[in-house]
Amino acid sequence: MNYQAASTRYNKMQYNRCGRSGLKLSAISLGLWHNFGSEDVFSNARDILLHAFDNGITHFDLANNYGPVPGSAEETFGKVLKQDMAAYRDELVVSTKAGYYMWEGPYGEWGSKKYLVSSLNQSLKRMGLDYVDIFYHHRPDPDTPLEETMAALDLIVRQGKALYVGLSNYSAEDTQKAESILRELGTPCLIHQPRYNMFDRWVEDGLLEVLDKRGIGGIPFSPLAQGLLTDRYLKEIPSDSRMAKAHFLKESALTEVKRNAIVALNEMASKRNQSLAQMAIAWLLSNKTVTSVLVGASSTKQLDNNLAALDNLSFTDVELKTINEICEPVLKA
């Protein structure tokens, strides 16, 4: 159990500046949404985390409700951090979030100062940390004034419990408002984490422009459309897949239009000597506003496949146009 990080860990990873801040993030970040909870195998979670760091991934993304059960992903990360990675804490960027339901009563979700401060205190305890590097508000709160939510993020930074703050799932309009409030308070918005992939491009309708103009980094989640943008669904639905288990991905999501697009994209990826997953990740990183892409992994093998996207990040104008043409029927459906 005496872990020593690989001496070559920084040799191949690319590090991108996050917006107009001084912070750089690994081009690929590891998300702990699934496969790191108390219901998963701890040894596998540990192997993935250490393998990620050995390959230059320095950013580990969590949230208070990640598991299952909620909170347990932070506990798993905290355990691995304590027993294996404590000596490397200053080489890590650890992020967590709050916004979704965590506990009973009126203070257990959304965006009040009461909830955000309490939730981060709980997260720090679960991970055994004095501070996180990035703390996000996980989703907009329709009832709490934006000024209160942003003031809570500012307070958390001033308390030394987070170095930077970010937003997730905010619209272009709300991001602009939130960024203005934070800037006036003296705590800039570092980063925005939206859902973004070839099949889901809502961020292109204003949000990416806001991020670029305001100097905010972008870190998309669900880059593979929950597995659709891989070679898993080319012919049939694998019995061990998310779709077969109806786990956040329904069989109805695989329409004929999408399957046709997946087949065409897979053929294009093959011509680029990439897997479809690698091309989907590279496509996101080709956007100047994207700082890092957030991937999940159920094994070190799957993580290696994602990391190999870095071997070919360039696209010709013709390739980008072709991708758009292939995806257009999906986007219009």
List, for residues 187-230, the tens digit of each pLDDT value.
999 999 999 999 999 999 999 999 999 999 999 999 999 999 99
pLDDT level of residue 240 (50, 70, 90 thresholds): low
Question: Two tokens at 100?
Answer: 């979704």
- Name the nearest CA neighbour of 59 among 1, 123, 4, 14: 14
pLDDT level of residue 249 (50, 70, 90 thresholds): low
Report the percentage of the chain scoring pLDDT > 90: 92
Q: What is the pLDDT of residues 298-310, one digit of tens each?
A: 999 999 999 999 9
Mean pLDDT (whole number) for 262-268? 97
Buried b (16+ CB within 10 A) or exposed e, 33-55: bbbbbeebeeeebbebbbbbbbb
Buried b (16+ CB within 10 A) or exposed e, 104-136: eeeeebbbbbebbbbbbebbbebbebeebbbbb
Question: Two tokens at 143?
Answer: 């009832």
What are the structural domain ranges in the chain? 15-236+278-313
Q: Letter for the amino acid at 37?
A: G
pLDDT for 245: 47
pLDDT for 234: 82
Report the percentage of the chain scoring pLDDT > 70: 95
Mean pLDDT (whole number) for 275-298? 97
Per-residue pLDDT at 124 exceeds 70 = yes
Q: What is the pLDDT of residues 162-183, one digit of tens each?
A: 999 999 999 999 999 999 999 9
Q: From residue 76, how far is each of 16, 71, 108, 119, 126 by CA, in Å?
A: 27, 9, 22, 17, 9
pLDDT for 244: 43
pLDDT for 250: 67
pLDDT for 238: 54
Task: Say which CATH superfamily domain 15-236+278-313 falls into.
Answer: NADP-dependent oxidoreductase domain (3.20.20.100)
Lowest model confidence (mean pLDDT) among 19-33, 107-121, 232-246: 232-246
CA 245 vs. chain centroid, Å, equals 23
Q: Return mean pLDDT, the chain.
A: 95
Per-residue pLDDT at 243 exceeds 70 = no
Question: Two tokens at 317?
Answer: 């104008």
Calpha distance 157→82 (Å, rounded)? 24
Q: Letter for the amino acid at 203?
A: V
